[in-house]
Amino acid sequence: MKTAWVFPGQGSQVLGMGVDLLEIASAKATFDRATEILGWSIVDICQNDEVKLANTRYTQPCLYVMECILVDLLQHQGLQPDAVAGHSLGEYVALYAAGAFDFETGLQLVKRRAELMDLASEGGMTALLGFDRAQLESALADTEGVVLANDNSSAQAVISGTVAGIATVVGKIKVKRAIPLNVSGAFHSPMMATAAAEFGKLLAPITFNNTKIPVLSNVAPTATTDGVELKERLNKQITGSVRWREISLQLPELGIQQAIEVGPGKVLGGLIKRTCEGISVVQIGTRSELESVVPG
C-alpha cells in the first residue's frame, strides 16, 4: 500500500503532547538536544505551560521536535513513506523526514522562523467555513491588502492581510462562518516580506540534499526530490499560500492509498478525507498510537 506521511502545523498543538515519548531513550536524547539548541525545554512547556505552548515562538519548535521524534521512531522500525507533505510549519518536518537536512539544521531554521513570525504585528487572519470559491476569488481579486493564505479544502480557507481588507472580503461574500484567528500578524501574505527577508539570510548558506522521498511543498504542491528546488520553495513559504487542497488532490495522482498524520490532532486527516475519496487515514500522535502501527 502506497503511503504518504503528513505533518500538522501551528494550531494542532495540545498540552501534554510528546510527554509519553520520554520513556523512550532515543526520544529523550532528542528532547535534550533540542534544549541545548533552543536554550529552553520543549518538555517543560509541553507538560506545564499552555500559555507558552500557544505562543508562536514556542509552538513551532515544540511541534517540530515532537513530530521529528515520531518520524525517527517510525523510520527506526523500517517504515518509510512514498511521499511526504506538511502544513506550514509541518513542511519542515516533511523535509527532515525526506532527508533534505538533519534535525539540528531544521530546528535552527524553525527557531528563527518562529521568532520572526512572533514579532509580526501588522494585519491578521480569518478562517472561512462554508463559502463559494468563485465568489471568494473574485472578492480577493478586487480587494487590496488581503490574500488567500491557506487553501485547506473546498469548504475551508484562511484569508490574511490588513484588518480592513479582511473585513471588506468577508462583507462581499456569503460565508457560513468567519472566525478571526488568534495570531500576531498576517502570516502567509506579502505583509510578512520583512520577516521572510530576515529568514532568508539564515536559509541562504544552507545546502538542501536531494531527498530519498518525494516532497509536496506548500507553495508548489507537486512532488519533487530536488534539493535546490525544495529550498527555493521553502524560501517562498512565509509569504506564500499554503495550498493544502491541491496537495490533497495530488495524493491519488501519486497512487497514495493511505495518509498517516504524524503529530497531534486530526486536522490534516480530516481535510484529506473530505477532499479525496478512497484514501484511508491513520493518526500517530501518541506512543500508544505509534505502537498500534508498530507493535513492540
CATH code for the domain of 170: 3.30.70.250
Q: Chain-wide mean pLDDT for the chain?
A: 95
- Summarize the confidence of residues 100-124 as an average pLDDT: 95
Q: What is the pLDDT of residue 295?
A: 52
Task: Please give the tally of structural domains in the chain.
Answer: 2
Give residues with Cβ within 8 angstroms of 147, minimum separation 6: 140, 159, 160, 161, 188, 189, 190, 241
- Percent of the chain predicted with pLDDT > 70: 99
For residue range 222-276, list pLDDT tens digits in order. Answer: 999 999 999 999 999 999 999 999 999 999 999 999 999 999 989 999 999 999 9
What do you get for the CA distance between the two ends of the chain, in Å? 22
Count, residues in the chain = 296
**One domain, residues 12 and 157:** no
pLDDT at position 168 over 50 = yes
Q: What is the DSSP string of 211-260?
A: PSS-EE-SSS-SEE--HHHHHHHHHTTTTS-B-HHHHHHHHHHTT--EEE
Q: List the domain range (segments joined by +) for residue 169.
A: 124-180
Residues 6 or more apart whose Cβ sits within 8 Å of residue 260:
3, 4, 5, 6, 81, 281, 282, 283, 284, 293
188 carries an active-site annotation: yes
Q: Is there a single domain that holds both residue 116 and residue 140?
A: no
Q: Which of 154, 180, 206 is the last residue of a domain?
A: 180
Please give the average per-residue pLDDT across 76-94, as a whole number: 97
Distance CA 74, CA 50 (A): 28
Which residues pair with residue 156 across a beta bridge? 129, 153
Integer Cα distance of 219 and 25 in angstroms: 36
Question: Which of 123, 111, 94, 105 minimizes the C-alpha distance to 218?
Answer: 94
**Cell 507533505 belongs to which residue?**
85
Whether 288 sits among the annotated catalytic residues: the reply is no
Domain boundary among 133, 149, 180: 180
- The residue ranking higher by pLDDT, 295 or 185, is 185
Predicted confidence band of residue 80 (pLDDT cuts 50, 70, 90): very high
- Identified catalytic residue from 188, 217, 241, 248: 188
- Which entry of 88, 160, 217, 248 is annotated as an active-site residue? 88
Q: What is the pLDDT of residue 294?
A: 66
